[in-house]
Amino acid sequence: METFKAIYGRAAKRHGGAKALEAEMPVIKTAAQLKKISDDRWLADFTKRIFQAGFNWNVIENKWPGFEDAFRGFDPVHCAHLSDEDIDKLLKDERIVRNGQKVVSVRANAQFLCDLANEHGSASAFFAGWPMDDFIGLLDILKKRGARLGGNTGPYGLRMMGKDSFILSKDVAAALIHAGVVDKVPTSQKAMRQVQNAFNVWHTESAKPYAHISRVLGLSIDG
């Protein structure tokens, strides 16, 4: 497997040096900072990523104030108790993008976050405390217990909220293949464990956050 030093050197060379490369790194919040985030913001951001998936991101951004109003600030308890009648009203609400399956996912994910709050004190505490050496375990929980949070949707949501994370974008997957971690885009449990192990090794080697390792990987190959 390729060393992170070699991957970093290639990425820096392609993007104007180490200083320019470091400027591309995402901001990561500490566990203490993550715990201070109110659970409604997790629901809001997951919802935004779900609606942006396969759609024009700018449209969702421009309509976002309407989403906040329509879903009453994404309070998880309120959204978890939306009735079918409430959902029908939302599907006629011009303030939002009226995609039925995505609208219903808000209720399901609100219940998911309420469950996490009941189990861990808050959803924020759960996300903040999850260990990065088993990040694929967190992704599995998002996929199984959340709604429409599989693939890269959940990881993008975590990244945008400041949780250390890796995202298996097209470029990152290509970099993992180039580095000898996997031989094709990782989808199986075995391949995902290989990816996790590689990130763990590179984190130990570099002491860099997993999100930074992920970003360097994506920038280390021709897009």
Question: How does pLDDT run across 132-153, given as a tens digit for each residue?
Answer: 999 999 999 999 999 999 999 9
Q: Which of 35-39, 55-59, 95-99 has the weakest average pLDDT?
A: 55-59
Distances (CA, A) of 91 to 47, 50, 65, 73, 127: 15, 16, 17, 17, 30
Domain residue limits, the chain: 4-28+166-219, 32-161
pLDDT at 222: 82
pTM: 0.95
Sorting pLDDT into bands at 50, 70 and 90, what band is 157?
Answer: very high
Chain segment 64-84, per-residue pLDDT in tens:
999 999 999 999 999 999 999
**CATH of the domain spanning 32-161, picked from 1.10.340.30, 1.10.3720.10, 3.40.50.280, 3.60.70.12:** 1.10.340.30
* Percentage of the residues of the chain whose pLDDT score is greater than 70: 100
Is 131 exposed, middle or buried (CB count within 10 Å of its CB: 0-12, 13-18, 19+)? exposed
| Nearest CA among 216, 152, 210 for reference residue 28 | 210
Output b/e per residue, 167-187; b: 16+ Cβ within 10 A.
bbbebbbbbbeebebbeeebe
What was the pLDDT predicted at 62?
97
Is the pLDDT reported for residue 192 higher than 90?
yes
Check whether 223 has a pLDDT greater than 70.
Answer: no
Q: What is the distance, to the nearest Å, from the Cα of residue 46 to the centroid of all Cα atoms in its chain?
A: 8
Average per-residue pLDDT for the chain: 97
Distance of alpha carbon 198 from alpha carbon 168, whole angstroms? 13
Q: For residue 213, give Cα distances in angstroms to 25, 104, 129, 134, 176.
A: 9, 35, 20, 15, 11
pLDDT, average across residues 26-38 = 97
Mean pLDDT of 45-64: 95
